[in-house]
Structure 1
Amino acid sequence: MVMVIRVNGVASFTYEFLNSAAMEKTILNPASIGKTIDEVHTPEIAFFLKERYAKVVKTKESAHYEDFYYSSENALVYTKSSLTPLYGDNGTCTHIVSHTTDITNEKMTKKKKQASHDYLVENFTRSQSLFDNNTDIIVTVDTDGFITGGNSVSSRYSGYSINDLVGKDMFDFVVVKDRKLAKEHFNLSVAREMKDQRAHLINKSGNVIACLVKFVRITTDHDVLGYYVVAKDMTELDKRAEFYKVEKENYQIIAENVHDVIMLVGQFKECLYISPSAETIFGFPVNADFKGTFFDRIHSEDRAVVSSIFEWTTQKCIRSQSQFRLLHEEKSWIWIEVSGTPVLAEDGSLKHMVIIARDISIQKEYENRLKHFAYFDALTELPNRRYFQEYANDRLEQSQDIAIMILDIDDFKEINDLWGHEIGDSVIQEFGHRLTGCVQGENIVARLGGDEFILLLTNVTSDKRVKEMANAIYLAMETPINVQHLSFDLSISIGSALGSAEKTTISAMMKRADLAMYQAKQKEKTLFT
């Protein structure tokens, strides 16, 4: 959802543009354009929005925040918004561009993961308590397998008193289908091959108990007197195993269907696991070759930074986030955002890194567009005042050998008044195009506003270079500008200012050049001041 809001003042904002997504997913509609926030929203929502827009105007910095609302279908929608200020020629904030992304799926996935985690913790605590407060079933048997005694737990599980158990064949308490295997296991224990064996025991009430059974000899120095039969109730363990199985299947479903890429990366950057979504997002089949060469697919200009962040994250064992370019088989280079969280072993060493990666190419494209809006003139596609001043300041810091030329079209207002702004805009575009053809190298031309343009010349050691450029511009403007059925012979005025060995600023040079242009308009034709 993209919205452009005009800044009327610190506390007043008007909707000037809404894309279709903004009108489909919110209460806004075409009638909202031209209305203030106070006119469109309830006082509470208006206060919330104005507070954030006012902060952007005051700080002159972009802002980010998360919010939620209920859609027309009464569904809860979570959003993440970025507010970017745009500035007019005088440097004041005139508009704010709001870019809002629906992050409902991301929020819901996080909530589901947290709920699963909480349930897992609760189940583990309950199971752990059960294990800590119960002992195993233990009975003693003679060498023929007849019960000679038992503990209180065996009585409780079987439903018989210890006296009733004594003298009974232990295999009578094993369900029929398991008796043959249980007898074989007993015989192996007699032959000194003791192993654990699963068996189902049946109690007095007919209830079946799944157990892990072990036979342990009771011996003297030379003789086997009998056996301890140790039966561990596996009911809770089986339930827990089934729970983990279900949870594993649930997590696998999430991993295979999530729109982000989930990876487990070892301390040597080896990929231990990559979710199937990597094939869609990264454009490569998820196989052993891909797992081994993920870092090799990072753009060469980003690889060193990514490696540095990875090393820093693994050493500090803290979460990190980075953005870089990755090679996509069909789309060439795509931008991805990666969040890495270390998982530690019991001894505090790094076990592996959980990495969540997502394709942010569209976001990067939006950012580049907004940057272009902030630094370039919409009519001529030339750099604007903001770009020019930053560029010129950089060059001035490197060398004082620069010159600034400011020029405009004489009596341009008459063109607009007589023929309209559409014709005037076409003249401005052609004027800017011809100026661009006069500069090269590090020299640039920018539009300050209206019919006023500015040039920066580098490596200027005398006014000769500036005069040559002025002559080139006059020559470029000798040919009339033809717009539709009209032809315009333009007269222009130029003013210039040279840098010097003395400390100066770009603003001071622009003022001097502007004064020189004003004098030229007064027919003094003074090129420098």
Structure 2
Amino acid sequence: MLENYHYLQSFFEVLEDHTILLDEAGNVICTNGAHSSIEESRKNSGIAEEIGLNYFDALKKLNKTVEVQAFQKVLEGDIKEFSFHFSMPSETAPRWYHLKAKRFVISEKKHGLVITTRDITEQYILKMNVDDVLESMSDAFYSLDEKWNFTHINTAASKLLEREPGYLVGKNKWLEFPDTIGSDFYHYYLKTVESQKSQTFEAYYAPYDRWFEMHVYPQREGGISVYFKNISDRKKSESDLKQFAYFDDLTSLPNRRWMIERIDEAIKKDTDSSVLYLDIDGFKNINDLYGHVKGDILLKKVARKLYKAVSPHGHIGRIGGDEFLIFVREKSRFELEVLAREIAAIFAKPIVIDAHLSFSISISIGISRYPADSQDVTELLSYADTSMYRAKKMRGNQYQFYHANMTRELSRRVNIEDSLSEDLQKNGVYFQYQPQIDYVTGELKGFEVLSRWNHPVLGAISPLEFIEIAEESGNILKLTYYLMADVFSIVTSWRKKFGYDLTISINVTPYLISQRSFFDDFFELLERYDLPAEMIELEITEDSQIEASETTLDNMKNCQERGVRIAIDDFGTGYSLFKSLTHFPVNKIKIDRYFINRIGNDAQSEAIIRSFVDFAENLNCELVAEGVETKEEAEFLKSIGCTVFQGYYLEKPMDIDAFETKYIAKSLAGKE
């Protein structure tokens, strides 16, 4: 039958009733133009009747699920037909219609639905008086004459306007509701009368704390007809959605989307503007070590401090994690420097989390400017982010303005991040071993594994650079797992060939020692390669954030119980100093090269080293001096009882083959 579509359409056009034909899925196949007022009213109601659109979907969006279910029952043959009466506003007065839906044969195996709508207003009114007609309407309704006096009002309207039924008839609209004078209601009512065209609008009425959807129509004899409904619930939902769409749930600050729109508006108006990208230094470690609850409390307190400092100057938003965005207009470079210093100053004092915990934090700020740096909002944010990372490298409450060279740095960083997420071996990551040697006997005590990277494009990359990026990009677990698997495989072969049984030192970051997943992988690898836990030594950089972490302490105690050794690396340069050793199960202290390299030039540093030796002896800890580079340093350390060194004076880091030849095979020969 669809082949005769043109015939069917022609047939539909001669029908007096408004008619549409739907297929089994609810798509409109044919429709006619009868009763254009019906068609227009239904379009205004959001009901799609254009050919190709889905009628059922349109009804569902209007929450008319009962009608949809009834139509589908007709389609399926469960009921013969479905019909009902309804009213709709018109420019003069409400009109009433009768809708009927019946099954329709499209082809031998397919059925559709014919829906006809007939205007029954005249018959309806003949059976009812005016008041009955008004009361039958689902919408609230009232009419005003040319002097703005109420002439008709139904019960639904009386309830919404909080008046007794019939009370308002004869009363003046503006005298009864003086708060509406000068409001949107006032202006749209006047516009309807002056233009003699209908108006539709939404307006808030403060005395009732309600939102109304208004449909206002001019009357031929003068005055207006008003249909309206309470849409406060819908508005609240829209407001909640807007809050969700534009504001951060944790801090209630504007989010990235809101901030970008403000910046974009300023650019379109060609207003000199600046973006300050702010990041909390070391927040990831705080979150990992103390948990997200404490981290969230810190973020909220930081947000309040920033809002108080920034709001007199511009906008502040949280754009993700520990990152905040500040947007200001028409400020000189000098004024931006002052603002950056003011922001940094608010973090001079520790932030109290609870009665037992506070954090001393610092922030890093990157600054980009429109139009000096870019005329594109995405680039401005990227440039501010890039300069923020430059500030972060300067350590502690620093700010940096963007300059063109930073783009190359950003490209390099992105390249490194991408390479870390790919095959590490193919991308040139490898490891070297640096021996720890007894200076007196020349005996090998063990070795430290050091990560190295010869990138296929960037060349040699410093561990200081790529390890930091690995931590910030979330690739440190992958990198460390690759290191352990590689080293454990090699040491397993040494054990079989040479009987190797000395210590293997592996650096782990504060983040890793707070992660149970890291230790799950670690112990799984030990079991896979059949390595005794006593051979492995985890080196942890001394850090102020370690001591208060219960998770970290539990992980380290688990290591001790299984026989894994713990060493404090760079000892003496962190914040925890000796105090941390009273909490942690530590087997070894490694004196930082900062003190070693000052031997012979700084009596105070030498005195500190002596205290380290005494302290390690009292705690029954082993002691290793890092970065020993001269005979003078070696002899001084020997004289005070520290004889195990790691440094260029005895041996530089070596590739695996060279290390095996010189130390592993050699030690076997000595045993034989």
TM-score, L = length of structure 1: 0.50
- The CA RMSD measured in Å over matched residues stands at 3.9
Secondary structure class of the residue paired with 1:377 = coil
Worse overlay, 397-406 or 109-118: 109-118
The answer to whether structure 1 residue 371 and structure 2 residue 242 are counterparts is yes
| Contact 2:149 2:171 (C-alpha < 8 Å) held by counterparts | no
Residue 262 of structure 1 and its aligned partner are, at CA, apart by 1.3
The one-letter code matched in structure 2 to 1:298 is T
In the alignment, which of 210, 219, 227 is matched to residue 334 of structure 1?
210
CA distance in 2, matches of 1:483, 1:504: 41
CA distance in 2, matches of 1:482, 1:444: 25
| Contact 1:495 1:516 (C-alpha < 8 Å) held by counterparts | yes
Residue 394 of structure 1 and its aligned partner are, at CA, apart by 2.5
CA distance in 2, matches of 1:342, 1:422: 60
1:329-368 residue pairs with structure 2 within 5 A? 331=208, 333-344=209-220, 350=221, 353-368=224-239
Secondary structure class of the residue paired with 1:423 = helix
The one-letter code matched in structure 1 to 2:152 is Y
CA distance in 1, matches of 2:145, 2:217: 12
Secondary structure class of the residue paired with 1:460 = coil
The answer to whether structure 1 residue 419 and structure 2 residue 290 are counterparts is yes
CA distance in 2, matches of 1:439, 1:393: 19
Secondary structure class of the residue paired with 1:383 = coil
The answer to whether structure 1 residue 527 and structure 2 residue 413 are counterparts is no
Residue 278 of structure 1 and its aligned partner are, at CA, apart by 3.3
The answer to whether structure 1 residue 283 and structure 2 residue 162 are counterparts is yes
Partner of 2:62: 66
Deviations 1:370-420 (A, max 9, x none): 112111101100001111111122234445432211111112111121121
Secondary structure class of the residue paired with 1:340 = strand
1:246-395 residue pairs with structure 2 within 5 A? 246-248=127-129, 252-253=131-132, 255-256=134-135, 260-267=139-146, 269-285=148-164, 286-287=167-168, 288-291=170-173, 293=175, 296-298=178-180, 300-303=182-185, 305-307=187-189, 309-311=191-193, 314=196, 316=197, 319-326=198-205, 328=207, 331=208, 333-344=209-220, 350=221, 353-395=224-266
Secondary structure class of the residue paired with 1:300 = coil
| Contact 1:68 1:77 (C-alpha < 8 Å) held by counterparts | no
Secondary structure class of the residue paired with 2:142 = strand
CA distance in 1, matches of 2:123, 2:163: 39
| Contact 1:256 1:275 (C-alpha < 8 Å) held by counterparts | yes
| Contact 2:275 2:328 (C-alpha < 8 Å) held by counterparts | yes
CA distance in 2, matches of 1:120, 1:516: 71
Residue 253 of structure 1 and its aligned partner are, at CA, apart by 4.3
The one-letter code matched in structure 2 to 1:114 is Y
The one-letter code matched in structure 2 to 1:464 is F
CA distance in 1, matches of 2:372, 2:391: 26
Residue 503 of structure 1 and its aligned partner are, at CA, apart by 6.6
Partner of 2:352: 482
Deviations 1:475-505 (A, max 9, x none): 1112212223322111221111233468723
| Contact 2:143 2:224 (C-alpha < 8 Å) held by counterparts | yes
Residue 368 of structure 1 and its aligned partner are, at CA, apart by 1.8
Deviations 1:195-229 (A, max 9, x none): xxxxxxxxxxxxxxxxxxxxxxxxxxxxxxxxxxx
Q: 1:312 to 1:290 in 2, by over 3 A?
A: closer
CA distance in 1, matches of 2:123, 2:132: 22
1:238-249 residue pairs with structure 2 within 5 A? 244=126, 246-248=127-129
| Contact 1:325 1:335 (C-alpha < 8 Å) held by counterparts | yes
Deviations 1:138-168 (A, max 9, x none): xxxxxxxxxxxxxxxxxxxxxxxxxxxxxxx
Q: Percent identity?
A: 24
Secondary structure class of the residue paired with 1:527 = strand
The one-letter code matched in structure 2 to 1:306 is Y
TM-score, L = length of structure 2: 0.40
CA distance in 2, matches of 1:421, 1:107: 58
CA distance in 1, matches of 2:340, 2:307: 13
| Contact 1:412 1:451 (C-alpha < 8 Å) held by counterparts | yes
1:8-407 residue pairs with structure 2 within 5 A? 65-70=61-66, 113-115=96-98, 121=122, 244=126, 246-248=127-129, 252-253=131-132, 255-256=134-135, 260-267=139-146, 269-285=148-164, 286-287=167-168, 288-291=170-173, 293=175, 296-298=178-180, 300-303=182-185, 305-307=187-189, 309-311=191-193, 314=196, 316=197, 319-326=198-205, 328=207, 331=208, 333-344=209-220, 350=221, 353-398=224-269, 400-407=271-278
Secondary structure class of the residue paired with 1:321 = strand
Q: 1:470 to 1:502 in 2, by over 3 A?
A: closer
Q: 1:448 to 1:122 in 2, by over 3 A?
A: closer
Q: 1:291 to 1:472 in 2, by over 3 A?
A: closer
CA distance in 1, matches of 2:60, 2:150: 33
Secondary structure class of the residue paired with 1:388 = helix
Deviations 1:24-56 (A, max 9, x none): xxxxxxxxxxxxxxxxxxx979xxxxxx9xxxx
| Contact 2:273 2:329 (C-alpha < 8 Å) held by counterparts | yes
Secondary structure class of the residue paired with 1:511 = helix
Secondary structure class of the residue paired with 2:64 = strand
The one-letter code matched in structure 2 to 1:261 is A
| Contact 2:278 2:323 (C-alpha < 8 Å) held by counterparts | yes
CA distance in 1, matches of 2:253, 2:157: 40
| Contact 1:264 1:271 (C-alpha < 8 Å) held by counterparts | yes
| Contact 2:149 2:172 (C-alpha < 8 Å) held by counterparts | no
CA distance in 2, matches of 1:474, 1:291: 58
Q: 1:435 to 1:107 in 2, by over 3 A?
A: farther
| Contact 2:86 2:98 (C-alpha < 8 Å) held by counterparts | no
CA distance in 1, matches of 2:368, 2:258: 19
The answer to whether structure 1 residue 453 and structure 2 residue 324 are counterparts is yes
CA distance in 2, matches of 1:398, 1:121: 57
Q: 1:120 to 1:281 in 2, by over 3 A?
A: closer
The one-letter code matched in structure 1 to 2:97 is Q
CA distance in 2, matches of 1:115, 1:488: 71
Partner of 1:212: none
Unaligned runs of 5+ in 1: 1-42, 46-51, 53-62, 79-105, 124-242, 345-349
The answer to whether structure 1 residue 508 and structure 2 residue 379 are counterparts is yes
Residue 119 of structure 1 and its aligned partner are, at CA, apart by 5.5
CA distance in 2, matches of 1:76, 1:404: 57
Q: How many residues align?
A: 308
CA distance in 2, matches of 1:407, 1:392: 16
| Contact 1:282 1:327 (C-alpha < 8 Å) held by counterparts | no
CA distance in 1, matches of 2:85, 2:352: 58
CA distance in 2, matches of 1:467, 1:384: 24
Secondary structure class of the residue paired with 1:445 = strand
Deviations 1:48-73 (A, max 9, x none): xxxx9xxxxxxxxxx993353359xx
The one-letter code matched in structure 2 to 1:385 is R
Partner of 2:553: none
